[in-house]
Structure 1
């Protein structure tokens, strides 16, 4: 196995509060996606809703994944004023959150 060089994934699982409208969720996701245009070490952003048949989501409904160039890039992202402002707003709409940062490992068979 080999660790991918220069790549760190930031995975954010979320459950929105019950009273947040689908329209507001859509706006929040668009604003989250726009951070890739504002914060240079943030290289990509993907998101999706839980579609698992296993029903092991523990109430989490949305997955957000960002790619960074390094762990230092995540630190820069976390401290960036655009992220701080957005995160303060975004978190106020959430009931549950899990965040995991990891370096992908390539398995060669």
Structure 2
């Protein structure tokens, strides 16, 4: 399994409702190989998010499923909305792909 982790530093004028709508669109993606999607705002007691207060994870069956998701027009639509809401555009987004449960690169 591959866990796709995305963190976003939102522009100050972007409302929580707008971010929630982007995440709702993300949750609506029904693409092969998606096992689970989780999203929301950080509630970390450590408070070291450094402005990356919103994020989501998508669990994929394998690297091929992640690659298909990245190329899919629905992903590109949601991704464009996320970039538009992020402070500095793409500079306000972090992505980390983590193999989980013994899957290899």
Normalised TM-score (structure 2): 0.85
Normalised TM-score (structure 1): 0.82
- Where do 5+ consecutive residues of structure 2 fail to align? none
Larger Rg: 1
- 1:25 matched residue in structure 2: 19
Higher share in strand: 1
Is 1:98 matched with 2:90? no
Root-mean-square deviation (Å)? 1.4
> How many aligned positions are there?
98
- Where do 5+ consecutive residues of structure 1 fail to align? 1-6
Aligned positions of 1:55-94 closer than 5 A: 55-94=47-86
Shift of 1:59: 0.8
